[in-house]
């Protein structure tokens, strides 16, 4: 059974990205072993820091995963700083990090009509720069996401059905 690591790009517990992670994990069910990263536990990136336990735990999570699923909100047309910070920690050493060759899928959410596609494009660009293996599927973008969250979980059947189809292909690639 493949191991998936979900990386939500928001710190807020009631965020649409975390609600989307919850819905995706429930949707995947028994097809994968799922874990969620806590990007908020990481300090600000500093190359002088070489022995931080939270950083080591995050890098170990990425390393142990067969695939990583990022769920990013869009902040000011890009990825949140906290998500970029987590990626920066795990991207070392350059071109030989745990992300090199790591299968990654990207989902974006937004309170607006574009569903975070600008952030999604930036995130894919960042992942490609680290030699991650970015899943080339139709873009999973959750539009008007804040209006589709009920009890902390994304409730949007058409979007979730579409995401399930795309992530099924990602899972098949991992086995």
Q: Which domains does the chain have, with CATH numbers?
A: 3-174 (3.40.50.360)
Q: What pLDDT, on a 0 to 100 scale, did the predictor assign at position 175?
A: 83
Identify the helix (H) or strand (E) that includes residue 164.
helix 157-174
What whole-number distance in Å separates Cα of residue 109 and Cα of residue 24?
13
| Positive/negative CA dihedral, 119, 122, 128, 129 | negative
How far apart CA 69 and CA 49 sit, in angstroms, is 26
Gap between the Cα atoms of 106 and 66, Å rounded: 15
pLDDT of residue 13: 85
Can you list the alpha helix ranges (DSSP code H) found in 3-45? 16-28
- Residue 115 token pair: 């569903």
pTM of the model: 0.96
Question: By the 8 A CB rule, do 67 and 13 touch?
Answer: no
At residue 19, the pLDDT reads 97
What is the full per-residue pLDDT of the chain (175 aa) written as tens digits? 999 999 999 999 889 999 999 999 999 989 999 999 999 999 999 999 999 999 999 999 999 999 999 999 999 999 999 999 999 999 999 889 999 999 999 999 999 999 999 999 999 999 999 999 999 999 999 999 999 999 999 999 999 999 999 999 999 999 8
């Amino acid at each position: 059974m493949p191991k998936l690591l979900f990386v939500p790009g928001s710190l807020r517990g009631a965020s649409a990205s975390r609600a989307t992670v919850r819905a995706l994990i429930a949707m995947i069910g028994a097809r994968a072993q799922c874990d969620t990263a806590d990007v908020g536990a990481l300090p600000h990136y500093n190359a002088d820091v070489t022995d931080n336990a939270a950083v080591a735990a995050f890098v170990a999570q990425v390393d142990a995963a067969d695939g990583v699923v990022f769920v990013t909100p869009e902040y000011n047309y890009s990825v949140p700083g906290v998500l970029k910070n987590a990626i920066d920690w795990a991207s070392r050493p350059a071109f030989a990090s745990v992300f090199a060759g790591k299968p990654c899928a990207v989902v974006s959410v937004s309170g607006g009509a574009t569903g975070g596609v600008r952030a999604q494009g930036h995130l894919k660009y960042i992942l490609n720069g680290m030699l991650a293996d970015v899943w080339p599927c139709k873009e999973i973008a959750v539009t008007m996401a804040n209006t589709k969250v009920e009890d902390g979980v994304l409730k949007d059947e058409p979007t979730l059905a579409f995401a399930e189809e795309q992530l099924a292909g990602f899972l098949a690639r991992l086995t």
